[in-house]
Structure 1
C-alpha cells in the first residue's frame, strides 16, 4: 500500500499501479529530468524513451540459470519475502520545511544521511529533500560552506512524496525508487505517522543477507 503526500496533505492512497495517475507525482518526476532531456534546447517536451526488447535467454544461458536454481534449497528458491517494517530505519532524521538549506545540509552531514523527509509546522509529511537538492543552493569549498542563495528547504525539496505502509513488499518499494527516481521512501502507518525510512542502501543490505533475497520473477 502506498500514499502520496504534498503540501495540501494526502493526495493519494492505494496500490502501486495507481501512483502514476497522480498528476503532481508525474510533474515532480519530469522536473528532475528536464535538464537532461533537452532543457538547453528551449523545449519542455521530453522525448519518450526508446523501447527496448527483452530477449529470451539462449540455450546456454538457460542451462546456466537452471544450474544455479538447482543449487538453491527448495524452500528458498524464490527467496524470502521482506516487508518494509523488516528493513526500515526506525530512527529517522527529519527537517522542517522552513529550515534554511545550510542548516539542513549540516544536519544531514552530521547524521551521515543523504536524504530526509520534510515536515510542515503541523508535523505533517509534505516532501523529501536530498543532498543533490540542497547542493543547488550551496557552494562547498575547502574553507567550508557558502550559502550562495538564501533559500529554505521548501525551495528545493521534492513534493509530493510517495510513502509506503510498513507491510509493503520491498520489491514494490524498489520499483517506486526506480520509476520515480528517488533515493528513499518514507514509511507511514495507518495514522499517517512516520515510523521509518528505507533508502537504497537498506535495499542493497537486505539483498546481501543469507539467505539472499531472490530476484526471480
Structure 2
C-alpha cells in the first residue's frame, strides 16, 4: 500500500500504479537547488566506476549459494526501523546539520503533531549559506511525498523509486505514524548479502 503525505495530510491511498507524479521541491530561485545526476545508461562501461556495490552485486550473483537464496518480499524485511527525521519548523541549516551528523542523505520531515509532511533530500537542497541557511525546511522539502507500509512488496517500491527518481521512501504504519525508511541502499545491501537474497522470485 502506498500513500501520499503533505502539509494537508494524507492525500492518496492505493497501489503503485495509481500513485500521482511527485513534483520537485519548491525553490527560492530558479536553478538554486543542487542535484546529483544519475549515471546515464549511455555511458560506456569503461567510463563507469569499477568495484564497489555494483561489482559486489555482480560477483555475489555469479557465485554458487549455500542452501539457495532467501526470498524477500516485504518492506519490513529490508527497511531501517530507526529513522532520523527533521521538524518542519527547523531551518535548512539546522536540518542539514542533522543529516550530516546522522550520516544520511535524506530524512522525512514531520509536522508539529509528528505527522509526515515531506522529505528533505540532501542532494537536492541548496547549500545552507548566508542566503539559504535561515530559510525553513518547508521551502526545500519534497511535498507531497510518497510513503509505503511495511507489508508492501519490495518490487513495487523499486518501481516507484525508479519512476519518481527518489532515493528512498518513508515507511508508515496503518495509522500514518512513521515507523521506518527504505532506501535504495537497503535494496542493494540485500542483493550483495551472502547468500544473495532473491528479491524477484
Q: Report what 1:39 is aligned to.
A: none
* Alignment match, 1:124: 115
Q: Which is bigger in relative contact order (C-alpha 8 A, separation at least 6)?
A: 2
Counterpart CA distance in 2 for 1:31 and 1:106 is 20
Task: Name 1:85's counterpart in structure 2.
Answer: 76
**Residues 137 and 151 in structure 1, CA contact (< 8 A), matched pair in contact too:** no
Give the secondary structure class of the aligned counterpart of 2:193. coil
Distance in 1 (alpha carbons) for counterparts of 2:26 and 2:89: 22
Specify the alignment match of 1:14 in structure 2: 14
Q: Deviation at 1:14?
A: 0.8
Q: Partner residue of 2:35?
A: none
Q: CA deviation at 1:212?
A: 1.9
Query: 1:29 touches 1:181 (CA, 8 Å); kept in 2?
Result: no
1:105 maps onto 2:96 in alignment: yes
1:150-161 → structure 2 map (5 Å cutoff): 150-161=134-145
Q: Which has the higher helix share?
A: 1
SS at match of 1:197: strand
In structure 2, what is the Cα distance between the partners aligned to 1:92 and 1:128? 12
Give the TM-score, by structure 1 length: 0.69
Aligned to 2:56: none
- Structure 2: stretches of 5+ with no match in the other structure: 32-60
Deviation at 1:97, TM superposition (A): 0.9
The answer to whether structure 1 residue 2 and structure 2 residue 2 are counterparts is yes
Structure-1 residue corresponding to 2:130: 147
C-alpha displacement of 1:160: 0.7
Q: 1:165 aligns with which of 144, 149, 172?
A: 149
Q: Can you list the C-alpha shifts for 1:159-187, whole angstroms capped at 9, x where unaligned?
A: 11111110111111111111011101011
Structure of higher CA gyration radius: 1
Q: Alpha-carbon deviation of 1:210?
A: 3.0
Matched residue of 1:13: which SS?
A: strand
TM-score (norm 2): 0.74
- Structure 1 runs not aligned, ≥5 long: 36-67, 139-145
Task: State whether residues 2 and 14 of structure 1, in contact with CA within 8 Å, keep that contact through their aligned partners in structure 2.
Answer: yes
CA RMSD of the aligned region, Å? 2.7
Mark the CA change 1:88 to 1:18 in structure 2 (over 3 Å): closer, same or farther: same
Residue 209 of structure 1 is matched in structure 2 by 193
